[in-house]
Structure 1
């Protein structure tokens, strides 16, 4: 049991880390002339096709779902993936990347509250302390305190919408994982996201876009690493742990993004951001330590 718990933690951390490298592909596609919404659509369609190929090779039976369960995937694909991406990019456009990032990472707070209602998960002191640590860490990593930024009520609400939408994947994904395999959840998530994004992306009306070999490689990379692999690892780990704990661990994503910017793009990292990274990593370790204590207590109780 202890091994499975550690493996679940590792899976969630790997998934979140892969999400953290999405900036590389977004930067490359942005330079090629694609808008944010078009990049989100390209991510959805490339992920769908890659998941489809994977399932056809592995087990086509994984494509079978019950029509009455469609709402799971409408939740993960439209209410979560499509909605939070729209809110996130809109907040970036109307305020700043720093504010958008910190509002996006209000997601664990939403997950904690919703999970306590839907899954009856306990709001332990350990979880709340880890949540506070991640929120402080993400605030510091975003560089919010070093910027003179103004935020309108509209931008604030849309930014919180990004955090809420982001949180819904953990909720709907957890519900779906009770009946379906990870690959099934993932492919239908991006199928519905693709359908929702296509009519609003403007991908077909953009005559100036060029799909050369470099662009195609970046589209495949975007669909494969921070999407297919990321969602597979995250959903696989989510099946074996609390949604609230998974959401807190997933906040390692901005840490990875910051380190990638430092290594690949020589972006400066301030002392305050380093402190923020340590806060986030500390929260992840805090959750892992709690899991191990819970398992040990359970073993002792079962013996008696």
Structure 2
């Protein structure tokens, strides 16, 4: 049973990520914009991670100043941009389609890894990328047949979420060669908070947190699909192959789709269902095409 625990933890993390739309919708209805919701998420996560670090990870609280650029990459170029794009897409479209566009990220990872990490793109990866593009076209309703069609701008924003999500894999892979997963997670959200809190003016809307259930959505967003999810995923990832972990994590769009249909009454046309299925298949295809290697222990600083 213990041998399967890492897979359960990764699946649990994916399920938590799949619930993001619930908290985003709640905060949006309370009057918060997409960027304000991103600020709420990263600030809440940063505060929780600092407290956890002081109690459990004191030896992992320091970084070298020269490595700060890595966390600008994970925190601003990835987390801030990805969250803004994803949350905006959720509000412009529906949750299943936003998630479908988010899952173009493996295609972006394949291209970026080829350009910057010198990883190869084999036939299976190329085939998966083509499947992803076709799947996105169908899922976003560009054909105009069945389901709902969305504007070009909303589709581009949804694709931006996939690109930003992919950037975390590039910067994060380099950062994890030097730091513990907790350190990478902590400074990612600290840098993101430092960038968003002053620019979004979220502090001036503090009173709104105590209006209705807004504070519950805010805390829930910071805890469950952020801190808890990242902790669970990191724990499982250290104990299994990364390619296997990525396949298990594809549970996220399934959970998000169920949430959109059951809670918000989102409806998908036949072509959109096919498109979403192609995207999920492309994710699996990309990941199982990567040779499984033994994971190296993370270096601590």
TM-score bracket relative to the smaller structure: 0.7 to 0.9
Q: Which moved more, 1:248-257 or 1:78-87?
A: 248-257
- 1:119 aligns with 117
Matched positions, count: 287
Query: Residues 133-212 of structure 1: matches in 2 within 5 Å?
Result: 133-145=131-143, 146-151=147-152, 160-206=159-205, 209-212=208-211
**So what's the TM-score if we normalise by structure 2?**
0.77
Match of 1:80 among 78, 81, 91: 78
Q: Which moved more, 1:258-267 or 1:77-86?
A: 258-267
SS state at 1:122 partner: coil
Superimposed CA distance per residue, residues 234-281 of structure 1 (whole angstroms, 9 cap, x where no aligned partner): 4556667568x9778766543321111122334334433443443344
Question: Runs of 5+ in structure 1 lacking a partner?
Answer: 297-304
- 1:258 aligns with 257
Superimposed CA distance per residue, residues 50-70 of structure 1 (whole angstroms, 9 cap, x where no aligned partner): 222222222211112111211
CA distance in 2, matches of 1:102, 1:172: 23
Kindly state the Cα deviation for residue 96 of structure 1 after the two structures are TM-superposed: 4.9
Q: Which moved more, 1:50-59 or 1:70-79?
A: 50-59
CA distance in 2, matches of 1:28, 1:192: 25
The question of whether the paired residues in 2 share the 8 Å contact of 1:108 and 1:248 is answered with no
- 2:47 aligns with 49
Query: Residues 95-114 of structure 1: matches in 2 within 5 Å?
Result: 96=93, 104-114=102-112
Question: Runs of 5+ in structure 2 lacking a partner?
Answer: 294-301
CA distance in 2, matches of 1:295, 1:248: 12
Aligned CA-pair RMSD: 3.7
CA distance in 1, matches of 2:14, 2:43: 20
Q: 1:278 to 1:91 in 2, by over 3 A?
A: closer
Structure with the higher helix share, 1 or 2 = 1
CA distance in 1, matches of 2:106, 2:288: 18
CA distance in 1, matches of 2:245, 2:134: 18
Superimposed CA distance per residue, residues 51-108 of structure 1 (whole angstroms, 9 cap, x where no aligned partner): 2222222221111211121111111001111123334456678x75688666544432
- 1:69 aligns with 67
CA distance in 2, matches of 1:207, 1:185: 28
CA distance in 2, matches of 1:90, 1:157: 11
CA distance in 1, matches of 2:167, 2:59: 27
SS state at 1:205 partner: helix
Superimposed CA distance per residue, residues 143-176 of structure 1 (whole angstroms, 9 cap, x where no aligned partner): 4543344426xx7766654433221101111111
Superimposed CA distance per residue, residues 131-153 of structure 1 (whole angstroms, 9 cap, x where no aligned partner): 3334444544444543344426x
Q: 1:103 to 1:279 in 2, by over 3 A?
A: closer
CA distance in 2, matches of 1:96, 1:265: 12
